[in-house]
Chains A and B, each alone.
Chain A
Amino acid sequence: MRFLLDDEQREFGRTLNGLLAAAGTPAVVRAWSAGDTAPGRALWARLAEAGVFALAVPEEHDGLGPLPVELAVAFGELGRHAVPGPLVETVAAAALLDRLDDGDVMRTWLPQIASGKAVVSLCAPGANSPYALDADACDAVFVIDDDTLRVAEGHGKVQASLDPARRLARPHGGPVLGRGPEVIAAAAHAADVAALATAAQSLGLGRALLARTVDYARQRTQFGVAIGSFQAVKHRLADTLIALEFAQPLLYAAALMLATAHPAAGREIAAAKVSAGEAAYAAARTALQLHGALGYTEELDLSLWIRKARPLRDAWGTPSACRARVLAP
């Protein structure tokens, strides 16, 4: 056993982190929220070049994967930089299509997903939501209803989310791509991949919130000293780190178990999802509290991270649903 990322995996994370830091994601997020998806699509292309979407696509369809551990690493960095768009939905759709019997559908979509040409969304039972994320900015929205897979022909009005970078709409209509128990099984697998990627995104988000808050607590003074020297502040930040650190190995174990189709993979993914989601949401609460009134403003970029924490906690498996799954016999 060597339960540590190897050098290549760590280097991949560092590379993505560098790419995203240089890309200035806050401006991309604000544009995406305002309905201007061009900067987001440009960033998407660069992420694809770095190999992010190929990780979810098998080699025979021009991908590198599926590589769940590397996906977890990548989505950690996407979360750290609050990258907008249906990132999770795209890799989950790839996992879904990969499990179908229909060669035409796979040949059409998987290489495009791997190369970053196709940005797709997914509406599946595992999300427990009637909405597709970013349907208006996508090349396709896949919809699973019971045992039927369709590609939507349109969508309803875009509805605002508490996180303005998440744009929600109900997909409708469209031709049937597949039907039967195979679709149900593929949808369950896609939901597992989505939950894993969302958990990773949450953890990255939580780490960014903690890092920014630590920086702030070191420089902000009150009563003549840095607020980071107060024990009440220190202890809250220490607890934030503890929650994130102990969620991290659950995430990697879940990814490993998904990679080997371990029978307990679903339970492990659920455990990772609830831990990462709760840790990141708690990090957002801490970030807001310690930034004080400043944190409660839209202007501060911190808001881009704070507003993501709650929707990610609940997307692709609410804490309650995940907890039920952990204890299911």
Chain B
Amino acid sequence: MDLDFTAAQDAFRAEARAWLAAHVPDAPLPSLETAEGFAAHREWERTLFADRWSVVSWPEEYGGRGASILHWLIFEEEYYAAGAPGRVSQNGINLLAPTLFEHGTAEQRARILPPMASGEVIWAQAWSEPEAGSDLSSLRSTAVRTDGGWRLSGQKTWSSRAAFADRAFGLFRSDPDTPKPHQGLTYLMFPLDAEGVTVRPIGRLDGKPAFAELFLDEVFVPDEDVIGEPGQGWRVAMSTAGNERGLTLRSPGRFIASADRLTALWRERAAASGTALRDRVVDAVIGARAYQLFTYANASRLAAGRPIGAESSLNKVFWSELDIALHETALDLLGPYGELADGAPEAPAHGSWAEGHTFSLAGPIYAGTNEIQRDIIAERLLGLPKGRR
């Protein structure tokens, strides 16, 4: 057991740090939940891609560096420590790409992955429906067989990034007559500007259109845009959901960087803050470190050929609650200034705690609610009996 990085890993860290120091914009980009910010972030993806930093863990043929998961964690630590912009391509890179690596065809990978890596095509996810959130098996949008492909109809909602993205991926019911609700689903990709697609942006809690509603009316999708076997969409999607909750959605670097910023904020205000707030700062700092170490252990487990299964639910609950604690504590330290929206003339110059706080509040809801995650932990890790939800 050790925590030592190899010389090669240290060199990789130094290379990433130097590149970021030279390229991270001096001023923060506008929020990626605005048209202007979306464009600026797309440009940033292009910059990352040009030097092969946008998808370090992908094979080189698709624009990556073939880096191990540990290298990816190192890159992420440096990325967040450098204060680099949020990743607008995250849905594609973290959700769709792992699915394509596992279930896609060579043709699909060659066609879809490079423009995803460069930010040329930005993906939205289209999982949820008005009456299907955490219970994805109750999806009702349909895919009906047609000549050379499928016709999609129905409604998707809470579609992250869809207000400004180019394409979307999601699950559709292709066989309404199966005995079980999670059978007869097919995993498909479609352009958001296709004929029959209507995108209606939905304002988030802070008013920014971070997601959208999608109305689909006989939208044609060719066979080549089906991932995996038709009817097997549930199985295909579940491998993606595991990725999302597991290692890749929220790397520890993000929380370590937030904890460092929180510590700096506390040091500035320690005299006025008292021990109750100090203890909350410490707990957030400890939480970020615990999450980092837990992830190192998981990465070591993966490297040793052991899979991560339901354990990813432990991650999801932990980081989502940690994220809220970090931001709530920062707002409390800021006192009356905590309330000011980012960009307000007198907003604190400590980074985007206000927008970060709003975003953190969504953590226990998306990627499978924390209630569902706790059920998974209780049933699959502790062996408690299934019950009514």
| A interface residues with partner B (beta carbon < 8 Å) | 1-6, 9, 69, 210, 214, 217-218, 225-226, 228-231, 233-235, 237-239, 241-242, 245-250, 252-253, 256-257, 268, 271, 274-275, 320, 323-324, 326-327
Given known contacts A231-B389, A327-B281, A238 and B1 CB-to-CB distance under 8 angstroms: no
Q: How far is the CA of A327 from the CA of B282 in the complex (A)?
A: 6
**Is B282 in contact with A256, judged by CB distance below 8 angstroms?**
no
Tell me whether B332 is interfacial, beta carbon within 8 Å.
no
1/0 contact string of B279-305 vs chain A (CB within 8 Å)? 101110111011101101101110110
Tell me which of B266, B281, B378, B383 has the highest count of chain A C-beta atoms within 10 A of its own C-beta: B378
Fill in one digit per residue for B44-61: 1 if any A CB lies within 8 Å of its CB, else 0.
Answer: 000000000000000000
Assess the B387–A250 pair: CB atoms within 8 A. no
Q: Does B374 contact A (CB under 8 A)?
A: yes
**CB-based A-B contact count at 8 angstroms:** 147
A234 and B378 in contact, given A214-B384, A250-B286 (Cβ under 8 angstroms)? yes
Known: A1-B2, A3-B3, A234-B374. Contact between A327 and B385, CB under 8 A? no
How long is the Cα–Cα vector from A249 to B294 in the complex, in angstroms? 6
Q: Give chain B nearest CB distance to A89 CB in angstroms.
A: 26
Known: A2-B303, A229-B384, A235-B371. 10 other contacts (CB 8 A): A1-B300, A231-B388, A234-B374, A237-B378, A246-B318, A250-B289, A252-B293, A253-B3, A271-B290, A323-B279
A228 CB contacts on chain B under 8 angstroms? 378, 384-385, 387
Nearest-neighbour CB distance to chain B for A75, whole angstroms, equals 16
A241-B382 in contact (CB<8A):
yes
Name the CB-closest residue of A to B270. Answer: A327
**Interface size bucket, B side?**
35 or more
In angstroms, Cα B5 to Cα A225, docked, is 51
- A271 x B2 contact (CB < 8 A): no
Chain B interface secondary structure, helix, strand, loop or mixed? helix
- B297/A3 in contact, CB under 8 A: yes
Judged by a CB distance under 8 angstroms, whether B217 is at the interface is: no
A242-B318, A323-B282 as given contacts; A231 in contact with B384, CB under 8 Å: no
Tell me the complex Cα distance, A247–B294, Å. 9
Shortest Cβ gap from B70 to chain A (Å): 6
B2 and A3 within 8 A (CB): yes
Q: In the complex, what residues of B have CB within 8 A of residue A253's CB?
A: 3, 289, 293
A189 to chain B, nearest CB (A): 20
Name the residue on B nearest A213 (C-beta). B382
Complex Cα spacing A228 to B282, Å:
34
